[in-house]
Amino acid sequence: MERTYVMIKPDGVQRGLIGEVISRIERRGLKLVAMKMGTMQVETAKKHYAEHVQKPFFNSLIGFITSGPSVSMVVEGKSAVSVMRALCGTTNPLNAPLGTIRGDFCLDTGRNVIHASDSPESAAREIAIHFSAAEISGYTRIDERWLYE
């Protein structure tokens, strides 16, 4: 099974969307194997968004992501990275289809509620930034035999 990193950003927390987002993840058939809530430290945010360091929006992104609590998760399942990306919708919510998290709840790219890793390599890097191996629980959900052939 593949693992991916998912974060409900401070705007999603402030808007009371934690339960809705987690419910959509679980209803889709993905499994939470790690989760924690807290306000991200600036140094952690800079590591997480290192690929954007030269972009003009970097400082405002770091300011936003460290402005309040967020929920970090490790999500597991078959093709978890691509399934989560589809569940989120496009980065710009104006282009995200209805039925996706961003399509249903967002209006602005800078306040788009959720982050999900864009590749298995990014997922591994981001999971390692936010979680130790001991914080990730491996288990079999009772419905897995009904989800996968």
Active site residues: 115
For the chain, strand residue ranges (E) read 2-8, 31-38, 70-77, 114-116
Q: 39: alpha, beta or left, given left = phi > 0 and alpha = psi -120 to 50? A: beta
Q: What is the rounded CA–CA span in Å between residue 30 and residue 62?
A: 28
Contact (Cβ atoms closer than 8 angstroms) between residue 7 and residue 114: yes
Percentages of the chain per state (helix, strand, coil), in multiples of 5? 45, 20, 35
